[in-house]
Amino acid sequence: MNVPFLDLKAVNAGYVAEIKDSINRVLDSGWYVLGQEVEVFEEEFKLWCGVEHAVSVSSGLAALELIFRAWIELGALQEGDAIAVPSNTYIASVLAISGAGLVPVLIEPDSESLNISASGLAAYKGNAVKAVMVVHLYGRAAEMSELSAYCERVGLLMVEDAAQAHGAIVDDCRVGAWGDAAGFSFYPGKNMGAMGDGGMITCKDPELARMLKMLRNYGSEVKYKHELRGRNERLDELQAAILRVKLKYIDRDNAKRREIAHCYRKGLSNPLVLLPKEPVNGEAHVWHLFVVRVKQRKEFMDFLRDKEVGFMVHYPIPIHKQAAYSDDFAGLELPFTEAIHDEVVSLPLSPVMSEQQVARVIDVVNQFTGSADE
Ligand SMILES: *Cc1c(COP(=O)(O)O)cnc(C)c1O
């Protein structure tokens, strides 16, 4: 049996009728940018997330970058300010910081959660940072009460990168409602995926929300009157209409992901394959990815390929070793981050996997003996 890493067509197949209705509604409306669908989707997302404001944008990267740009416009940050970010995140987290004219400071993550932690921030002895970007990596929420207390005590702004963690709950509060602001991605492969690119910003401050709405739309609140040098980073009506369907089912889909993660954690028992840790409160993890660590990764990947079990590596090259940042981080050594990047493998996990597929993955992984000539 072949098990794909992620079958996006199957993911959307469950919603075909509702998605087609949504597409037709937009087609019939004759209105394609910044209309009813976007307005209603923002309202629905805001209520679901439990946050004061939601501003939709064109991608997760745009969401994160516009938050920083808005804070610069509002005087809360200045160009050149240092921003802490975990060193093992997806590059978009860091691109958002440097893209806004700020300086990313890479912080090694906690060894158990693989997320940035208050103790990791406290241990950093370099230039004072002005804000922290908390990334809920692989769908596991970071330790939010400790991080919030730390940011409050030291006087730091907190941004959440919730691109992988739609719907995760910590202490009865969803991710996206903890920080001063948060960015979500609706890239098709995310837990809540559009049929193209999309993103959402959530925040508490009405002034920040107003600024973000201007920045996403040419710096304009009133048509042809431009208060700032903005961008075009809007979510279109078609994606908003499709995402309104996805929002109805995200909690159910996340529950399915948790079930599969639970089966994996119960069934996988190969001493060569280190399993991801589960948070004490299961709701804090939405299992965007099920990431194991294997010292003999090359042999493991060859074995999976041979058995037709899909996999991916999130991520193969750490940011401080990427050509795009070779000047900024030359000579920087982050041993734990580098070890993670050498060992991680993501196994298939999606709400449309069958019991047989889950059982097959468990079977194959448990057969791995570590020898190259399997
Ligand atoms: C996907 C992702 C982003 C970027 O989202 P896009 O919509 O692809 O721009 C940012 N941060 C993390 C952690 C991500 O996984």
| Per-residue CA distances from 154 to 107, 158, 204 (Å) | 17, 11, 20
Cα of 338 vs centre of ligand 1, distance in Å, is 21
For helices 16-29 and 237-267, give the axis angle rounded to 10 degrees.
Answer: 160
Q: Which residues contact 301 (CB under 8 A, 6 or more apart)?
A: 311, 313, 345
Residue nearest to atom 6 of ligand 1 (CA): 60
At position 326, the amino acid (one-letter code) is S
- Does the domain at 251-367 match CATH 3.40.80.10? Answer given as no
**Which atom of ligand 1 lies at the shortest distance from residue 136's CA?**
13
Decide: residue 4, CB within 10 A, 0-12 exposed, 13-18 middle, 19+ buried: middle
3-state secondary structure of 292: strand
Architecture category of domain 8-247 in CATH: 3-Layer(aba) Sandwich (3.40)
Cα of 92 vs centre of ligand 1, distance in Å, is 6
Residue of 115, 140, 164 with the most ligand 1 atoms within 8 Å of its CB, for mutation: 164
| Domain limits, CATH 3.40.640.10, in the chain | 8-247
The CA-CA-CA angle for residues 21, 349, 147, to 5°, reads 95
**Which atom of ligand 1 lies at the shortest distance from residue 96's CA?**
10
Q: List, in sequence order, every beta strand (DSSP E) within 210-313.
A: 220-222, 225-226, 290-293
- Residue by residue, DSSP assigns 14-79 as TTHHHHHHHHHHHHHHT--BSSHHHHHHHHHHHHHHT-SEEEEES-HHHHHHHHHHHHHHTTSS-T
Cα of 36 vs centre of ligand 1, distance in Å, is 26
Cα of 225 vs centre of ligand 1, distance in Å, is 32
**Which atom of ligand 1 lies at the shortest distance from residue 199's CA?**
7
| Domain limits, CATH 3.90.1150.10, in the chain | 251-367
What is the rounded distance in angstroms from the CA atom of residue 337 to the CA atom of residue 333? Answer: 9
Cα of 270 vs centre of ligand 1, distance in Å, is 31
Cα of 90 vs centre of ligand 1, distance in Å, is 7
Cα of 351 vs centre of ligand 1, distance in Å, is 20
Alpha helices in 127-231 (DSSP H): 144-154, 206-215
- Bridge partners, residue 140, by sequence: 285
Contact 170, 141 (CB under 8 A): yes
**Which atom of ligand 1 lies at the shortest distance from residue 89's CA?**
13
**What's residue 372's pLDDT?**
60
**What's residue 374's pLDDT?**
45
**Which atom of ligand 1 lies at the shortest distance from residue 197's CA?**
7
Mean pLDDT in consecutive groups of 10 residues from the start of the chain, 374 residues: 96 97 98 98 98 98 98 98 98 98 98 97 93 98 98 97 98 98 98 98 98 98 94 98 98 98 98 96 97 98 98 98 96 97 98 98 97 58
Alpha-carbon dihedral sign for residues 132, 136, 142, 145: positive
**Which residues line the pocket of ligand 1, CB cutoff 6 A?**
59-61, 89-90, 92-93, 135, 161, 163-164, 185, 187, 197, 199
